[in-house]
Amino acid sequence: MTDKFDDDWDDGTADDLCADPEPIEAVEGRGRLAARLPDGSGYLIVEGPGAGSVVADSSGSTVREAAALPNRDAALDGTRPLFLIHRSYNFAQALPRLLANVHAAAGANLALGVVSPLPHVSEDSHRTIHNKCAAAAVHIVDPLGYFAASGDLRLPPLSNRAQGRAPYLVGAPATVTDILDFQRDRGANLLLTSGQALDPVDPQRSLDAVCREGDNALASLAPGERLALNLTFSARWLTHASLRDKLLAQLLDQEQFDTWYVRVQWSASLRSYAQPADEQLLRGYQRLAEVAIDENRRLLLPQTGLTGWFMLAQGAAGFGMGISGTDQAFREDSGGGGPAPVIERYFERQLLHTIERTARPALVADPRYIQCAGPYCPPLFSGAAWSREYAGLHQLFNAGTLAAAAAPAIAGPAGPRGAVRRAVRAAVAFAAGKGLAGISEPRHLQVWDRLL
């Protein structure tokens, strides 16, 4: 299954989440690390055999106590980055252990969340993944409302199965409360407005409609519930000054929304796993993030890959990515064509980029190369066969630890901006002279360096 067709999911049950075999890293005989659950009801094993599972207590000579897990509100208070992992088409059974392993490595310097797309899996499967992901403080079931009102977005067609799971996307009547109930019933604890796309043809009317829906959603919340204003729009809203100014003015005027969940569609010309190098787009993101932090709002950037991590330096509170290319970036649908060949690739932390497998020897030969010590590298590099699963988990693990390194508590006097700047400039230096070309060339780094 290629990235192009990941949105047309074929999973109608929770069966893919039942099997949870111990990976290679979990049977090496190490002791276990356990983190206290936010409600105090038990502990989550975050490292070693059984990582991802909940136990009643952390007693025993082989169990050490890790940093306690934050609750939802602590995860959204801005004291640490929030790393959202999107449930992809494949490998959902690996997410509970992945989240646990990231917490073991990042400790109190990172909050975690899981995002599942409402139309693409069954109600039971949503509940199962959110129940199993005990390391996640934030649980989001994204209604993907932009399929109902797409503005100038370029989207793939929805499958019949997806239309059946989310009939509001194809014209069935649904109130604001109905959209919230869909999310509640599937395990969400951070609710979203529908996310219908903004229309650049009539921008003010479109902005007013989104905020009006948000007001109605706020009025429908039960005590203790939280809402994020869900905004979806094309890149034009960040690259064109008039649209950007209208967007920012509207957001500044709406003080009732403390959390913004913003999805921006990137060009179809951007290759899978690449980061946009369009300076105008990145400056638009930068301005949005600066406004958010200046106004004490939480800006969450789903489906942004490492571009979302880069925006932590500008004021974003969190970002999201997944294993598949469609969860790394919200790109325009190019239409047509059949399945493309799968490209074997690895994420290289020192490059802040994902490269082709064939380009890796040039990096490893550099005396400055640092081998990843994450839990997914032993199975990833122990044999000749490439594993899409372990390559994806390796990337997500490293993205999480990169985010933790930008936490205000450990980033140093220059804060998240300084931590990101140091990582970017080290990557620029490491990339020099490697002869990387094509999709292995980290073209975004020079633009990032200028913006820092």
Contact criterion met (CB below 8 Å) for 155 and 234: no
| Average pLDDT of the chain to the nearest whole number | 90
> Could you give the CA distance from residue 371 to residue 378 in angstroms, rounded to a whole number?
11
User: Does residue 58 surpass a pLDDT of 90?
Assistant: no
As annotated, the residues of the chain forming the CATH 3.20.20 domain(s) are 3-10+69-328
What is the structure's pLDDT at 90?
84
Higher pLDDT, 30 or 69: 69
pTM over 0.85: yes
Higher pLDDT, 37 or 285: 285
Higher pLDDT, 412 or 190: 190
Q: Would you identify the CATH topology of the domain 3-10+69-328?
A: TIM Barrel (3.20.20)
| 127 class by beta-carbon count within 10 Å (0-12 exposed, 13-18 middle, 19+ buried) | middle
Q: H or E stretch including 262? A: strand 259-265
Q: By percentage, how much of the chain surpasses pLDDT 70? A: 91
pLDDT digits (tens, 9 = 90+) for 96-109: 999 999 999 998 99
Higher pLDDT, 34 or 187: 187
What is the structure's pLDDT at 2?
39
Please tell me whether residue 369 adopts helix, strand or coil conformation.
coil
pLDDT digits (tens, 9 = 90+) for 318-365: 999 999 989 999 999 987 666 677 899 999 999 999 999 999 999 999
Q: Which of 94-98, 134-138, 412-416 has the lowest mean pLDDT?
A: 412-416
What is the structure's pLDDT at 13?
39
Find the farthest-apart pair of alpha carbons in the chain and give their distance in angstroms, rounded.
65
What is the structure's pLDDT at 62?
66
